[in-house]
Amino acid sequence: MFSKLRRNILLVNASIITILLIASFVAIYIVTRGDVYREIDLDFRRISFTWEDVISKIEEEGSELSIESFNIYLGKTENYDFLESRLANSYNLVIDADRNLIKAIGFYDIDYRIFTDITDNLVWEPDIIQYTSYNEIQWAYRIRESETGYTVRLMNITKRLGVLTSLIFTSLVIFIFTMVFVILISIYITNKSVRHLEEAFRKQKQFIADASHELRT
């Protein structure tokens, strides 16, 4: 009887703590995820504005945006450090009307085939920020229609989403250690409480036995 009581108490304690921990971690994850995606949205809009500014300045000089004109502009601008901090993780893709990649422009060179594969996997819904992944790299992107086809802005968001992955891992570790601690404490408290009940029950049985013996006598 008391073994079953111990199991029931432990089960109730573990269930309550598990529900509270899971609810807390889910709430923290939802809030953090919302903050991360709001930051991504804000950074993406900043990057888009910066790209528009760079493109307009290149066109003012009588050139068309290309890898060469972009590099020339970077070589003579006084805002190189600022532009690198803004645009280092982003790319400007020029795509024709048939959705074929024409050129990919950015601070750093990446295998051209990557952008071709990314382009093939895009969801063609213009003017909204969307998300995709390629080779474990996460990207935010937005498609804009142009006179000759499309312009796609890409931003690498792998590090930003890594915060959520770290949060899940940390939460899992905390959950495991907390549950182990709670179970050990529950076992100690349960055994101590049930021991008092066992002693009281034993004394009650002894009293009844003694009373019965006296009455028979």
DSSP states of the chain as a string?
Answer: -HHHHHHHHHHHHHHHHHHHHHHHHHHHHHHHHHHHHHHHHHHHHHHHHHHHHHHHHHHHTT----HHHHHHHHHH-TTHHHHHHHHTTEEEEEEETTS-EEEEEESS---HHHHHHHHHT----TTS-EEEEETTEEEEEEEEE-SSEEEEEEEE-HHHHHHHHHHHHHHHHHHHHHHHHHHHHHHHHHHHHHHHHHHHHHHHHHHHHHHHHHHH-
CA distances from 104 to 3, 114, 128 (A): 69, 10, 20
- For the chain, the straight-line distance linking the first and the last C-alpha, in angstroms and rounded, comes to 31
Measured distance CA(100)–CA(173) in Å, rounded = 46
Cα(13)–Cα(6) distance, integer angstroms: 11
Q: Tell me what pLDDT residue 143 has.
A: 93
Q: What is the pLDDT of residues 13-56, one digit of tens each?
A: 777 888 888 888 889 999 998 999 999 999 999 999 999 999 89
Q: What is the pLDDT of residues 112-165, one digit of tens each?
A: 788 888 888 888 888 899 999 888 889 999 999 988 889 999 999 998 888 888
- Note the pLDDT tens digit of each residue in 175-203: 888 878 877 777 777 766 666 556 655 66
> pLDDT (tens digit, 9 = 90+) per residue, 81-104?
888 888 888 999 999 988 898 888
Tokens 């049985």 belong to 205
Segment 165-178 shows an average pLDDT of 86
Residue 184's contacts (CB-CB under 8 Å, 6 or more residues apart) are none
